[in-house]
Every structure is written in C-alpha cells, then in structure tokens.
Structure 1
Amino acid sequence: MIELISIHIPKTGGTSFYRALQTVYGVERVSVSFRRRDYFEAVEQGGLPRALPSQLNVLHGHLRYEEVRDLHLQHNAKVITWLRDPVDRVVSNYSFFKHRLLHPEHNPKVAAANAHRVSETLLEYATLEENRNRMSKFMQGLHPKDYFFIGLLESFEADYERLGKRLGWAHIPPLPRLNDNRRFRKALPEVNEEALRQLQALNAEDMALYDWVKTHRSAF
C-alpha cells in the first residue's frame, strides 16, 4: 500500500530526499525515482499503477499531482513536496540544462535534441512556457493546504527533521547532499535587478505559491 507520494519538482533537493527515503523505508519499498520519460513509458505500457510493485510504500519522482491523483485517493496517501525560491530554481534548472548540453555523454538523446539551444540565454530559456511556473504546474490539482507537507529548500535540514517527526520515523538519518550544482556552480549566470524582475514576472504563479507556503509555515 502506498503511504507516501513524494512529488519531486526539479532542482528542489529531491535527489537528496529520495536517498533519505530509501534509508528510512528500505530500497525495496521505495519506487524508482521516476523521470518524466519513465512516467510516459509507464503510461504507454498500461498506466503508472501497473509499473509499481505490490510491496511499494513510497512513490517518488518527477510526477505531477494530476498524474498521481487516482493513486493518492485510492491509497489515502500523504502527499509531500519541496519548493524553492522561484528565481533560484529557474537559474539552477537553466544551469543544469546547459551543463547537460555541454556534456552530452550524460544524456546523449536529450543533448542531441537540444543541440541548437547551446547558446540560449537564461532569459530565453525562462521565457519558454515549459520553463515557467513549474512548481505550480507540478502541484496543480491539489490546493497547497491539502498537502501533508511542503518543505523549503532554503530550510532543508530543519524542514526535513520536522517532516521525519510528523511521519513518526523512529530514526531520522542524516540528509545527504546530492546533485546540488557543485560541479558547475561557478557557471551560474549573474542575475541583475532587471533580470530578477523579469524572472519574477515570468513566474508570478510560483512567486505567489512560494509566498503562500512561507506565510503558512505552521500548517506544515
């Protein structure tokens, strides 16, 4: 039975959190960390539920709430996710995207499909609809107040400890730091005041969501 659904919004600490979930629940009871292509492959092969082992307790990955709504309701699972300052999240996602284009060995298929975008600027990237308000898009379909927990990357350790206590974990393992831009942090683009305003405007829904969660911290 699925007890927990962990929606991993890109560049919000989900890889580190996934490793912690594996430690707490056991690798065999935590799903693979679903990538978008994994989800679409599961749909083509008969649907997400058919891709999940029967002993599963935790579902985790780049899955939008609307894609797991039926599982949430069927299992009465607790839904959790992590957010991040929207501008910082976009900048990090852009830097990760550019890093993959410059190092195609990590994902040759994606690199080949996007080779023409190697000179794309931060604002060009951010203007694309697919890259705007991504946090809101992942969470759409369930009001933030109805999530069991929403943590913030800016207070990762403290929120992680709080979540572990809320879930009744007997032991809260150390939180690993994985996939956090260390390899290409020096290449992060600088964001001046004008660019900051543009990025905030392009992600107005995410800004409102992030502010709402910060205001209602006591609810989580």
Structure 2
Amino acid sequence: MCRKAWRFKSSVPHYDRASPQGLSDFFSADHRLTGASPGDRISARGGPVARRSNNQPQRPLVIFLHIPKTGGTTFEAILKRAYGEDNVLAFDLAAINDAEGARRARQAARAARRCSFIRGHFPMGLRLHESIARPCTYITWLRDPIERMISEYHFILRYPPHPAHAPVHRDKMTLKDYLLSEWAAGTDNYMTRFLCNQAPDARDADWACSPAMLASARANLDRFFPVVALMEHFDESLLLLQSHFGWRLPLYVKENVTHNRPPLADLPGPTLQILQDLNRYDLSLYAHACGRFAGQLGALDRDAFDRRLRGFRLLNRTYGRVRTGEQLYRELAERWHRSLNRYRAYEGKVRSTVKRAVLGLLNSK
C-alpha cells in the first residue's frame, strides 16, 4: 500500500552531576560492554576517529536523528545534560523539505565549528556529516513500527497545533480512517524513510518506499550508528549508549508520553492488517535492528550488566520521584504567587474605591 508520491510530514530540569563515589564507580562507563576500548570512536564515514596529539581521543560530534514518537524528547534532555545546552544545532523537517531549506541546513552545519551536538527531525539523506569538517557519529531510537504509528495517531488527536488535528477531529476519523486518508500519506515506513539515503529535497526522486530504500536504511544503520537503541528496551539502550560515549548517569523523566492509548490487542483485525501493509519495510528494518541489539547484549557479561540495570532503574525511580516533587512544588509556588498577585490587585481596587467614596462624602459636606 505504498503511496505513489510523498513528502516527509513534520509532525528535564537541570541534573546535578555530582554523585557519591560508590554510585559513580558502580555506574561508570564500562567500554567493555560494547566490545570497544575506552578511546575508540567510530566516525560517520565508518572508520576510527583520529586521536589528538596528547593521546586523548578526539570527541566526535553527535548527530541525533529524532524519529517522531520513538522516545526522542526524553532522550534530548539526556543529551543536553551530557553535552550542555549551549551551541546546539537543531533542524526540523518543515524547514528543510525543499532545496533552499536543505542548502541552509548543510551550510549551518559547515559553520557550526563549536557545536555541542546536532538534533532534530531530519533524515539521514540530508548527509550532514559530509558537510562537517570533524568526526561525526549518529544516534537514533527505533520502535516497533505498528506501535509507533498508533502512537502518532493518538498524538495528533491530543495536539491541536498538528496540521492533521483539525481534520481528524472534524471528520471524526478512526485510526483506520486516518491511515487511509491523505493526512497519513508519506508516514508509512517512516523509520526506513528517515534512515535511507533519499535526500528530503530531491524533487525528481521516486518517493514511494522501495526495497532499495530499505537496503540503504539497513546499511546506514550498520555503518553510522555504533549503538542500536530501541524504545522497547529504553534503559538497556541507555546503558549501552552511556558505555560507548562515556556519559555520566543518564537519569531521566519520561516526556511527551501519549496517555490513555488503547492496547494493540484491542485493534480490529482489518486495521492491524493495514498497519502491517503500510509498514512492511519498517517491520523488516526493525527486525534487523532487534538482531543487532540482541548481538550487543550477547557480547556482554550479562550478570554484571543485569546488576547495573537493576541498580540504574532503582536510582532512576528515586530521581523521577524527586524531579516530580520539585515540579509539583514549582507549580504550587507559581499558583500561590498568581493568587497573591490577584489578591493584591483586588485589594488595590478596593482601597481605591473606598478612598474615592470617602472623598466624595467629604466633598459633599
């Protein structure tokens, strides 16, 4: 059910890095988890990154391809803590979906000499690493394609700024209606489209998803992404990324979560069949990614990794409660200040009214 033509559709507070020495030792990045030595990095061109003259590894520029509805918003907060929030270069599909926008994006990448990292909704076909005169490495998150597309539909339902929100509500579209409508055109096999070599500004290209696009997406995933990260195994993927990139504790609070979504088991059979037909290339790509992910875990000391995983989850639950408590405190404080300001404004009006009334009585006498 591939479409004849398509275009890409646009669709945590500060963390104190200080930690007790015991926790720091327990969660320190163990590069043996990925089978690489501590200094090893992979450039976007597939080879090892050259070392600096002081025998320290040259830090590659991280390029984060944020595929919508794969947990990327939560992960961006982790990246900001790992690399800082200054000099972050961000792109969005709406701004690069034509020749001029793509040209400006590549030009901005060439000029970003002190960029901390690059993030945003943009495809691999933009080839940003070819515009940057420094080593690069890529990160992305993948998700079960059926779950991803269902989550996207429910995100549209609850997010008024989305272009499809108004028509979906106006026409009372079910998930099946949405999948068969023009609003879903170009969102099939979205992960394959993001990771293949098809440039977003290629006007004369055949935009129907094809086996060739799947092949290039698989090749790019294997060549440019040293760690395969899966949303269904979020914590395990984070620890693998931490080990490869040498991050501190990647604690997080989930953001941009789609709530009150019916489970996959409740979908009618015809709707599920449409989802599978629309995403057959993504299903193949995801199966390949799951195989690589299993290989990454299979190369580890699983007992040691499982102990780290249990400890990380315990610590992250505590972190989440603390951050949630801080957020609740801030919200209550903001409400108190708003109420206090309204009271003071009301009090001022009352005093002014009483003053005018008293002056009026005195003048009348």
TM-score between the two structures when normalised by the length of structure 2? 0.51
CA shift digits 1:52-85 (9 cap, x unpaired):
5432131111010011344477433111111111
CA distance in 1, matches of 2:270, 2:137: 40
Amino acid at match of 1:212: H
2:271 equivalent among 195, 198, 202: 195
2:280 equivalent among 200, 204, 217: 204
Q: Tell me the residue number matched to 1:158.
A: 236
CA distance in 2, matches of 1:125, 1:174: 36
Runs (4+) of structure 1 moved beyond 6 Å?
A: none
Q: Tell me the residue number matched to 2:350.
A: none
Q: Tell me the residue number matched to 2:290.
A: 214
Q: Equivalent residue of 1:149, what SS?
A: coil
CA distance in 2, matches of 1:93, 1:133: 13
Sort the Cα spacing of 1:45 and 1:80 in 2 relative to 1 into closer, same or farther, 3 A.
Answer: closer
CA distance in 2, matches of 1:55, 1:6: 16
Verify: 1:140 aligned to 2:191, yes or no: no
Figure out how many residues of one structure are paired with residues of the other and give that number. Answer: 208
CA distance in 1, matches of 2:106, 2:158: 33
- 1:122 to partner: Cα distance: 1.2
Greater Cα shift, 50-59 or 147-156: 50-59
Contact 2:228 2:292 in 1 (8 A): no
Verify: 1:115 aligned to 2:193, yes or no: no
Q: Tell me the residue number matched to 1:36.
A: 93
CA distance in 1, matches of 2:102, 2:271: 43
Higher strand share: 1
Verify: 1:126 aligned to 2:179, yes or no: yes
Greater Cα shift, 66-75 or 7-16: 66-75
Equivalences for 1:4-23 in 2 at 5 Å? 4-23=62-81
1:168 equivalent among 246, 267, 286: 246
CA distance in 2, matches of 1:131, 1:188: 21
Verify: 1:59 aligned to 2:123, yes or no: no
Amino acid at match of 2:258: N
Q: Tell me the residue number matched to 2:104.
A: 47
Kindly, what percent of the aligned residue pairs are identical? 26
Contact 1:2 1:59 in 2 (8 A): no
Q: Equivalent residue of 2:228, what SS?
A: strand
Greater Cα shift, 205-214 or 127-136: 127-136
Contact 2:73 2:255 in 1 (8 A): yes
CA distance in 1, matches of 2:167, 2:64: 34
Q: Equivalent residue of 1:179, what SS?
A: coil
Sort the Cα spacing of 1:136 and 1:186 in 2 relative to 1 into closer, same or farther, 3 A.
Answer: closer
CA distance in 2, matches of 1:188, 1:39: 35
CA shift digits 1:1-37 (9 cap, x unpaired):
96111100000000011010000100014333x3322
Q: Equivalent residue of 1:28, what SS?
A: coil
Contact 2:107 2:131 in 1 (8 A): no
TM-score between the two structures when normalised by the length of structure 1? 0.82
Sort the Cα spacing of 1:74 and 1:157 in 2 relative to 1 into closer, same or farther, 3 A.
Answer: same
Greater Cα shift, 91-100 or 37-46: 37-46
2:139 equivalent among 62, 69, 80: 80
Greater Cα shift, 52-61 or 133-142: 52-61
Stretches of structure 2 lacking an aligned partner (at least 5 in a row): 1-58, 198-216, 298-365
- 1:167 to partner: Cα distance: 0.9
Contact 1:136 1:205 in 2 (8 A): yes
Sort the Cα spacing of 1:4 and 1:37 in 2 relative to 1 into closer, same or farther, 3 A.
Answer: same
CA shift digits 1:98-148 (9 cap, x unpaired):
212xxx3xx2xx44x763332222123234331200010000125221122
CA distance in 1, matches of 2:189, 2:126: 17
Verify: 1:99 aligned to 2:99, yes or no: no
Q: Equivalent residue of 2:115, what SS?
A: coil
Contact 1:90 1:126 in 2 (8 A): no
